[in-house]
């Protein structure tokens, strides 16, 4: 095994691989706010205006990069670092790191994309300081110099483009990135891997594949959204002297989905509590041949902490549901109860209204395994018109493919929160014109248009509220991509809504719990394993909440 292979071995657990929770690989150091490159530039501007110079920030950023580089090089004897420097301030960070690593005795070579004379501002200053410090060698970045540099390097630092990337890589630049990726040398990216758009994670012209990225002050959406996330490797967030107070002016509406977002809205059962204090959730299930999805959701709702859960279904499906359920109650949706003809079944809106007239049933889920068609639309209308809070998933969404406005109109008339949990296919059916947008903008616009909290699912699930808030989830293991896993997620949202959590926080917490349960169940999981895997997840939350209380005392 050569040095590069030995080091690459250290990172085989990078962003795209491994079974552990991906959240563990993100350094959300300092706060869960996510800043777009434009907001980051504003943070920079406000900091400089408060009296901290730009070169001070650049020196701190370069030092964080140098430290990360050294930590990646511990497995080698004679470290040789190749630093690729771009024309802007990302390159400036590279010059600072080059100077520091040179001063620390490492073998450093820098390759510059543009002539030193074209450098501006703090990047020009950093280049001069590097030269004055006895300059590590520097040359123009060309295919030939890169080929030679890669053949000698133990580590590449990618300081070509960061926040300032304003178009996809193309032509010669894209080829250079391909050469780096084919070079077999681990890469440390400064801020973002070059080619990844920090605002939305797009990488239309390809990007440099990093083993690790060091970003500054706060993570950027591009570190979390695919495909960007798959280029970042492990992400560290270095605090470089920007005061969190700047966020009061920037007011970021986007966060990483973690407990800081929703824990104050979640409450464990109180000592003197009653099951009705934690709500009564109802799942509307489909016909006899498709009952599993609703059961998965109902089990998840109960595990997520709803005090009671009822599965309501057509009479023909009652027996099969009853045979599989114990703590969950089953209820037949019989026509006739609401003054309709006896004997018929399935998709009856009247019995749904009837059941939901019991106001203790405070949250309902409809869609999984329910069937697509006009009857489903009637049932969705009955749910939205009768219950305090609702989750719409799967067939409930698909049934509105040709009339989404009717759904949004009904949601607008709801008293409480409505949460929609579409996967990409369901999303496209309801919002065909938004599908070409980046995932974050698509989810946000969908939430605004529909009036519902939108959970746009996938490996990088986005949760968006109609008021503009949004969060990106990062803890879901790929094992969750399995049949029925989305039904479980819908059930968790339902269980949290039943307990009285507001829609956005319930949706975000559910997505996070679902990811944790996926990691808990681990490789080989099936959706049936997920509800029970919520137990250790909840236990840890309770322990953490208890810890917080102790600290407050």
Ligand X SMILES: Nc1ncnc2c1ncn2[C@@H]1O[C@H](COP(=O)(O)OP(=O)(O)O)[C@@H](O)[C@H]1O
Residue with tokens 């808990």: 520
With binding defined as CB under 5 A, does residue 529 bind K ion?
Answer: no
- Per CB under 6 A, 189 contacts ligand NPW: no
Name residues contacting K ion, limited to 151-190 (CB under 5 A). 158, 162, 189-190
Binding residue for K ion, selected from 47, 194, 376, 485, defined by CB under 5 A = 194
**Binding at 158: pick from K ion, ligand X, ligand NPW, none (beta carbon under 5-8 Å per type):** K ion
Q: Is 206 in the site for K ion (CB under 5 A)?
A: no
When asked if residue 533 is in the footprint of K ion (CB under 5 A), the reply is no
Closer to ligand NPW at the Cβ: 213 or 376?
Answer: 213
Binding site residue list for AMP: 457-461, 486
- Phi first, then psi, for residue 419 (nearest 5°) are -120, 130
CA distance 301 to 451: 23
User: Which of ligand NPW, K ion, ligand X, none is residue 169 near (CB under 5 to 8 Å by kind)?
Assistant: ligand NPW
> Which residues are CB-neighbours of 275 under 8 A, at least 6 positions away?
307, 308
CA–CA distance from 318 to each of 282, 363, 484 (Å)? 15, 21, 20
Residues in the chain: 553
Residue from 33, 44, 516, 520 that binds ligand NPW (CB under 6 A)? 44
Angle at 462 between CA 461 and CA 463, to 5 degrees: 120
Nearest residue (CB) to ligand X, 64 versus 497? 497
**What minimum distance in Å lies between the beta carbon of 106 and ligand X?**
38
Of the candidates 15, 61, 456, 465, which one interacts with ligand NPW according to CB under 6 A? 61
Q: How far is the CB of 358 from K ion (least distance, A)?
A: 58
Among residues 208 and 420, whose Cβ is nearest to ligand NPW?
A: 208
Residue 36 or residue 399: which is nearer to ligand X going by CB?
399
162 and 90 in contact (C-beta within 8 Å)? yes
283 contributes a contact to ligand X by CB under 6 A: no
The CA dihedral of 282, 286, 287, 288, to the nearest 10 degrees, is: -70
Shortest CB 474 distance to ligand NPW, Å:
21
Residue (88 or 279) nearer to ligand NPW, CB: 88
Residue 194 interacting entry, from ligand X, K ion, ligand NPW, none, C-beta within 5 to 8 Å by type: K ion
Q: How many CA within 13 A on the CB side of residue 293?
A: 24
> Is 87 one of the binding residues for ligand NPW (CB under 6 A)?
yes
Closer of 70 and 239 to ligand NPW (Cβ): 239
For 116-268, strand residue ranges (E) read 137-140, 155-159, 187-190, 212-216, 234-238, 254-256
Dihedral pair phi/psi, residue 111, rounded to 5°: -120, 125
Helix residue ranges per DSSP H, 341-393:
349-356, 374-386
The reply to whether 493 sits near ligand X by the rule CB under 6 A is no
Q: Say whether 57 sits in a helix, a strand or coil.
A: helix
Footprint of ligand X on 444-483 (CB under 6 A)? 457-459, 461, 476-478, 480-481, 483
Q: 516-521: long-range contacts at Cβ-Cβ below 8 A with a sequence spacing of 24 or more?
A: 516/21, 516/475, 516/540, 517/488, 518/476, 518/477, 518/479, 518/480, 518/485, 519/19, 519/20, 519/21, 519/475, 519/477, 521/479
The answer to whether 183 and 150 have CB atoms below 8 angstroms apart is: yes
Our finding on whether 58 is near ligand NPW (CB under 6 A) is yes
Phi, psi of 443 (to 5 degrees): -65, -40
CB of 537 to ligand X, least distance (A): 15
Structure tokens at 329: 């109650």
State the nearest-atom distance from the C-beta of 341 to ligand X, in Å: 33
Q: Report the residue from 33, 487, 505, 529 that binds ligand X according to the rule CB under 6 A.
A: 487
Residue 206 found at the interface with ligand NPW (CB under 6 A): no
Helices 530-552/503-521 angle, 10° precision: 110
Q: State which of positions 228-267 bind ligand NPW (CB under 6 A).
A: 240
∠ CA 537-543-546, rounded to 5°: 145
Residue 73 is a binding residue for ligand NPW (CB under 6 A): no
Q: Residues 22-41 vs ligand NPW: string with x where CB under 6 A?
A: ------------------xx
Report the largest interatomic distance among the alpha carbons of the chain, rounded to a whole angstrom. 92
Residues 228, 192 contacting (CB under 8 angstroms): yes
Range in contact with ligand NPW (rule: CB under 6 A) among 89-97, 134-142, 257-265, 295-303: 89-97
Which chain residues interact with ligand NPW by CB under 6 A?
40-41, 43-44, 57-58, 61, 86-93, 161-167, 169, 173, 190-191, 216, 240
Which chain residues interact with K ion by CB under 5 A?
158, 162, 189-190, 194
Which chain residues interact with ligand X by CB under 6 A?
423, 457-459, 461, 476-478, 480-481, 483-487, 489, 514
């Amino acid at each position: 095994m050569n040095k590069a292979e030995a080091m690459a071995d250290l990172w085989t657990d990078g962003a795209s691989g491994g079974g552990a929770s991906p959240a563990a690989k993100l350094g959300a150091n300092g706060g869960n706010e996510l800043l777009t490159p434009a907001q980051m530039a504003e943070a920079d501007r406000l900091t400089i205006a408060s009296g901290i110079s730009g070169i001070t920030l650049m020196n701190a950023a370069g030092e964080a990069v140098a430290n990360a580089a050294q930590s990646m090089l511990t497995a080698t004897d004679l470290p040789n670092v190749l630093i690729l420097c771009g024309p802007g301030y990302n390159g400036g960070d590279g010059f600072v790191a080059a100077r520091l690593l040179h001063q620390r005795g490492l073998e450093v070579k820098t390759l510059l994309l543009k002539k030193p004379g074209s450098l501006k501002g703090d990047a020009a200053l950093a280049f001069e300081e590097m030269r004055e410090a006895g300059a590590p060698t520097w040359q123009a970045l060309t295919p030939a110099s890169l080929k030679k540099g890669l053949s000698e390097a133990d580590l590449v630092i990618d300081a070509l483009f960061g926040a300032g990337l304003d178009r996809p890589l193309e032509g010669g630049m894209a080829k250079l990135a391909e050469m780096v990726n084919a070079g077999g040398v681990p890469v440390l990216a400064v801020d973002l891997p070059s080619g990844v758009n920090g605002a939305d994670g797009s990488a239309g012209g390809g990007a440099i594949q990093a083993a690790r990225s060091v970003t500054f002050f706060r993570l950027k959406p591009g570190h979390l959204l695919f495909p960007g996330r798959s280029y970042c490797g492990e992400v560290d967030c270095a605090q470089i002297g920007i005061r969190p107070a700047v966020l009061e002016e920037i007011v970021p509406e986007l966060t990483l989905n973690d407990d800081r977002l929703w824990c104050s809205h979640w409450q464990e059962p109180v000592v003197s509590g009653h099951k009705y204090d934690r709500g009564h959730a109802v799942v509307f299930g489909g016909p006899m041949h498709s009952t599993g999805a609703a059961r998965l959701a109902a089990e998840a709702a109960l595990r997520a902490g709803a005090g009671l859960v009822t599965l309501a279904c057509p009479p023909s499906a009652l027996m099969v549901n009853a045979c599989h359920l114990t703590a969950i109650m089953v209820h037949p949706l019989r026509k006739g109860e609401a003054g309709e003809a006896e004997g018929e079944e399935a998709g009856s809106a009247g019995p749904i209204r009837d059941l939901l007239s019991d106001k203790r049933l405070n949250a309902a889920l409809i869609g999984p395994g329910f069937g697509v068609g006009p009857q489903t639309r009637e049932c969705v209308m009955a749910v939205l018109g009768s219950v305090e809070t609702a989750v719409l998933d799967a067939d409930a969404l698909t049934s509105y493919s040709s009339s989404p406005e009717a759904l949004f109109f009904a949601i607008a008339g709801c008293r409480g929160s409505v949460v929609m949990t579409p996967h990409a296919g369901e999303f496209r059916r309801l919002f065909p014109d938004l599908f070409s947008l980046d995932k974050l903008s698509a989810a946000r616009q969908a939430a605004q248009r529909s009036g519902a909290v939108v959970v746009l699912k996938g490996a990088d699930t986005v949760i968006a509220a109609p008021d503009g808030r949004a969060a990106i989830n990062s803890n879901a293991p790929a094992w969750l991509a399995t049949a029925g896993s989305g039904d479980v997620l819908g059930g968790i949202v339902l269980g949290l809504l039943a307990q009285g959590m507001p829609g956005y926080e319930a949706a975000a917490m559910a997505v996070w719990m679902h990811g944790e349960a996926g990691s808990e169940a681990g490789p080989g999981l099936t959706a049936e394993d997920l509800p029970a895997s919520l137990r250790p997840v909840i236990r840890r939350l309770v322990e953490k909440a208890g810890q917080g209380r102790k600290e407050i005392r």
